[in-house]
Structures are given as C-alpha cells and as structure tokens.
C-alpha cells in the first residue's frame, strides 16, 4: 500500500511500518487492520505520523494507534518517546485539553434494578453535574485554593473532602503529577480555572451509565469489581479552559524557541523546545499543573455523580457501592522508564489521544491490579459499546505502554451535523434503548454514532496486537452531554 510517495509495509496482521525517508529520524508504526487502514489513509493522519518522526531526540518509532485521525501537530492517537537529553517537548504532542481522560466507577447496582428509575436519575445528573460551554462548578476557588489544586490534583480533593484515599490510589500517578508549578500558569489561564472545577464541558465529553454485558477475562473483571448485568458510570472530561489556555500560551513560547534555535520541523504546529531548556522545563511545570487540575476536575465530577445517584434512588453509600475502578488521562507527556535498544532509559512519552496500558507487575499500578494489569478504557460512541481492557506485557515493547483512547472520529463535526438535518438524535437513540440528556443539540448532533469508527474493530486490533487484552464489554443505557 502507498500513501502519496510513502510505502507502507505490513509487518503483521495489526501493524504497518512507514520506512524512514527524507528527514525522518525513526520509522513510523501504525496499528490497524487492513480495513481500517483505508480510512486512516483517507484522513491523511499518516502525514502527521511522518512529521512527528522528524522531531529531535525521538526514539524507536513514531506511533499511531488504531483510532488515529488528524489532529493539531500530532495525530490524535499519536505516541512518541523522547530522549531526555537530546529530545524535545511539543505542546502539539499533548493537545489543548491537557490530561483529558476517563474515569470508570463501578457500583453494586444491576441495570435491571436501575432501569425503571433511569429517566429520573438522568434528569438529576443533568441538573446536578454542570455541563456545556461556559458551565461553572459548585466549588468557587480563590487564588490560594486554586494553587493548591494545581499543585495537589486529587490529593487536594482528598484534603477538601471530595475524595477518599481509595479514589486517589486508583487514579493514574496517584492523581498528582510531580513538578507542577502554579507560577508556570498564566494569569489568564488561572482566571479561566477559578469557576470551572467540577464541570463536564462540551464536545465529546460525557457522563454515561453503562451495563456490563459481556465478560472476557473473569480474573481481571473480578479484580476491577465488574460483573455481568452491573450498572457502571463513565466520566470523560479534562482541564477545561485552564488547560486550553496553558497550551495556547506555550505554543507561542515554543514557536519563538523553534525559530531562535532553528529547529528543523516539517510543520509549525510541531513547535517545540528541548526538554532540558528553560522553555521546555517551564512548559512541563505548567503541563503538570493543568494535569492536576484535570485530575481534581474528574474527582469532583465523580463526587457529584456519586452523591446525586445516592440521593435520587435513594441509597446508602454502602448499598450503592459506587467507587472508582480507575482514572486515566489521554493527553499527557510523562517521564517514564522504558527499554530502548536493549537497555532501560528514562524517556519523555508524549501521548496525544492515547492512554497508558501498563502490564501486570508494573510498580506504578495499585497493588490490587498488579496481578492483572492496568485498567484501559476504550469508550465507543454513545449508541454502541465501550470496552474495559487490561494492559498486556507486550505493550511496553510495542508502544511504550500505550493504547488508544477511543473509537476515533471518521466524520468531521460539520459533516456529522449536516448528516442529521431532518433527523432526531433523541428518537434514533431511543430506538437503540439509550436515554440522552444534553445542553446543546448542536453538540449532540456532532456526536452521533456514525461519526465514529467501529469501536469493536478498534479494540480487536489492540487485543490481537498484544497491547491490552479485553476484559469486559459495556453497553450504554444513558448519556449526559454538554
């Protein structure tokens, strides 16, 4: 197969290599089935995989996940690891919504018991969990408290009474990235963060009630607290306007550095700075602060969800049994140890629309999950399935311990809206037996199921490639969107 003037070499049933050409410092690697590759080529995201391979200090390969599609700088679904001495950090490799991520919460409830109360529960969640553009949360922060959030992440939520120690334990990195510096966050960004903590936002962010309909790996499902017929809850949100502003601010800084240092990058959206430079270190401090805001934001959303479900049903906390399975981000750059060229090295891993998938035994996993691997969440669209997986040993070698973060778009938002003219999203979702509440009908039209790839096909690639193994399939029953 060829993409423009580039050959694609099929190296397995689930992997394709883009050989080094021109200024590429490493090959490209894309995980996909032959059928999915046609969509990927049409989207031109492969051009971005090639562009990323030009970045100074990149190691091993520029990687594309099976949900890959066109993004800013890096493709969404892009992974790249950098040498910490010679490599660079690029905001385009993290994205605007820093540490956007997904939290899964299990319960003691069955969907059969919950379904008769679903309409009133969804109405309560839509009322009590702020969503939509410009929404504000129930917590109002002054400057001192905001700086505690930026430094502490989920640890701040524990100290403020919005989280338990268990919530923090079952959050990636304990819910707090080290190295955060509130002074690396601009006044404009801070102003945007004062009243948005505990808000869902808009776009593809969601709160979802799902039923566990299939178990593939009983051992891992048991460790995660999942059982067939169970009602579970997804929360998908990030760092809101604060994170967006941090990215925007540092894109200007990186652009100036790239020009001054005459870094040879094929796309100005890949503006970057050496990790060891003052600009690079400063961005990483601001990135960590925004990531901590995102961790705290999802924790407050989880708190509101838990409280609302218990009030609406009503149930005692022990009877509801709502607790965090795991919380993992998918727009990050993190220092990690990986084996490169046969030896362990400290590297900086960019994950843009990609999530960690650490294997059994990894020391960063909670003890309860070290026997089965890290929970990996691949939500689909609001009308079809979502999946829970567990990181597999081969992930470290194949993808720097990374998996995809969703199904991946196959239609632009504009095209999705246009396709819905004369149709009712609510009626079509009702036919799928999915209850929907939203703040914006325009946003809802952008998120129709056909706008996304088939998540089952995406998950099969991840499973067959050896990145993560399937644990459970979830079916949406209700969705709340901005």
Check residue 37 and give its pLDDT: 86
Whole-number average pLDDT of the chain: 94
β-pair partners for 2: 7
Q: How many CB atoms lie within 10 A of CB 278?
A: 11
> 97: helix, coil or strand?
coil
Report the candidate in 151, 149, 179, 177 with the shortest Cα–Cα distance to residue 163: 149
The catalytic residue positions are: 405
Kindly state the greatest CA–CA separation across the chain.
Answer: 63
Q: Judge contact between 90 and 64, C-beta under 8 A.
A: no
Separation of first and last alpha carbons in the chain:
40
Residue 78: both structure tokens together: 């892009």
- The single-letter DSSP state of residue 110 is B
Q: Judge contact between 32 and 16, C-beta under 8 A.
A: yes
Check residue 284 and give its pLDDT: 98
Q: What is the dihedral of CA 125, 131, 137, 138, to 10 degrees?
A: -20
What pTM does this model have?
Answer: 0.96
| CA quadruple 103, 107, 110, 111: dihedral sign | negative
For the chain, the C-alpha Rg in angstroms (whole number) is 21
Helices (H), 261-372: 278-312, 317-320
Specify whether the backbone of 112 is left (phi greater than 0), alpha (psi in -120 to 50) or beta: alpha
Check residue 7 and give its pLDDT: 80
Distance of CA 202 to the CA centre of its chain: 15
Q: Judge contact between 93 and 80, C-beta under 8 A.
A: yes
Listed in order, strand segments (DSSP E) in 320-412 are 323-329, 331-340, 343-352, 354-356, 375-378, 386-391, 402-404
Check residue 1 and give its pLDDT: 56
Give the Å distances, CA to CA, from 349 to 33, 66, 306, 359, 370. Answer: 25, 18, 33, 16, 22
Q: What architecture does CATH give domain 2-83+100-481?
A: Alpha-Beta Complex (3.90)
Give the Å distances, CA to CA, from 290 to 10, 96, 126, 153, 163. Answer: 39, 10, 26, 9, 19
Residue ranges for the chain with pLDDT beneath 70: 1-6, 132
Q: Is residue 34 packed enough to be buried (19+ CB in 10 Å), middle (13-18) or exposed (0-12)? A: exposed
Q: Judge contact between 358 and 203, C-beta under 8 A.
A: no
Residue labelled with tokens 């060829």: 2
| CA quadruple 144, 150, 152, 153: dihedral sign | positive
Sketch the domain layout of the chain as residue ranges.
2-83+100-481
Specify whether the backbone of 335 is left (phi greater than 0), alpha (psi in -120 to 50) or beta: beta
């Amino acid at each position: 197969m060829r993409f423009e003037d580039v050959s694609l070499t099929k190296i397995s049933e689930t992997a394709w290599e883009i050989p080094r050409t021109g200024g590429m410092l490493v090959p490209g690697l894309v995980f996909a089935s032959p059928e999915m590759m046609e969509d990927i080529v049409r989207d031109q995201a492969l051009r971005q995989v090639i562009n990323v391979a030009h970045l100074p200090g990149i190691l091993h390969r520029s990687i594309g996940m099976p949900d890959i599609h066109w993004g800013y700088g890096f493709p969404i679904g892009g992974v790249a690891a950098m040498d910490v001495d010679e490599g660079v950090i690029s905001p385009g490799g993290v994205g605007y919504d820093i540490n956007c991520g997904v939290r899964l919460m299990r319960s003691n409830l069955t969907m059969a018991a919950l379904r008769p109360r679903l309409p009133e529960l969804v109405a309560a969640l839509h009322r009590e969990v702020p969503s939509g553009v410009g929404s504000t949360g129930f917590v109002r922060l002054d400057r001192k408290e905001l700086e505690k959030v930026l430094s502490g992440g989920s640890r701040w939520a524990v100290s403020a009474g919005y989280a338990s120690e268990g919530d923090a334990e079952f959050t990636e990195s304990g819910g707090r990235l080290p190295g955060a510096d509130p002074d690396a966050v601009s006044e404009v960004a801070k102003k945007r963060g004062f009243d948005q903590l505990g808000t869902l936002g808009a776009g593809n962010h969601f709160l979802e009630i799902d039923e566990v309909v299939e178990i593939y790996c009983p051992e891992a499902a048991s460790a995660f607290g999942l059982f067939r017929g169970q009602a579970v809850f997804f929360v998908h949100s990030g760092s809101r306007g604060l994170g967006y502003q941090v990215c925007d601010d540092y894109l200007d800084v990186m652009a100036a550095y790239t020009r001054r240092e005459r870094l040879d990058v094929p796309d100005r959206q890949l503006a970057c700075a050496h990790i060891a430079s003052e600009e690079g270190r400063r961005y990483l401090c601001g990135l960590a602060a925004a990531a901590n805001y995102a961790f705290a934001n999802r924790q407050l959303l989880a708190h509101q969800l838990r409280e609302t479900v218990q009030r609406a049903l009503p149930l005692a906390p022990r009877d509801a049994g709502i607790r965090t399975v795991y919380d993992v981000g998918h727009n990050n750059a993190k220092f990690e140890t990986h084996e490169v060229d046969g030896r362990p090295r400290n590297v900086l891993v960019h994950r843009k629309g990609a999530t960690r998938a650490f294997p059994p035994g990894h020391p960063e996993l909670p003890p309860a999950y070290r026997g089965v691997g890290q929970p990996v969440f691949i939500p689909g669209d609001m009308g079809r399935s979502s999946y829970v997986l567990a990181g597999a040993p081969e992930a470290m070698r194949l993808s720097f311990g990374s998996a995809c973060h969703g199904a991946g778009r196959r239609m632009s938002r504009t095209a999705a809206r246009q396709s819905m003219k004369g149709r009712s999203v609510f009626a079509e979702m009702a036919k799928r037996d999915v209850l929907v509440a939203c703040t914006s009908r325009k946003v809802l039209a952008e998120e129709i199921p056909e706008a996304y790839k088939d998540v089952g096909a995406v998950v099969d690639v991840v499973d067959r490639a050896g990145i993560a193994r399937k644990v459970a399939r979830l079916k949406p029953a209700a969705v709340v969107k901005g």
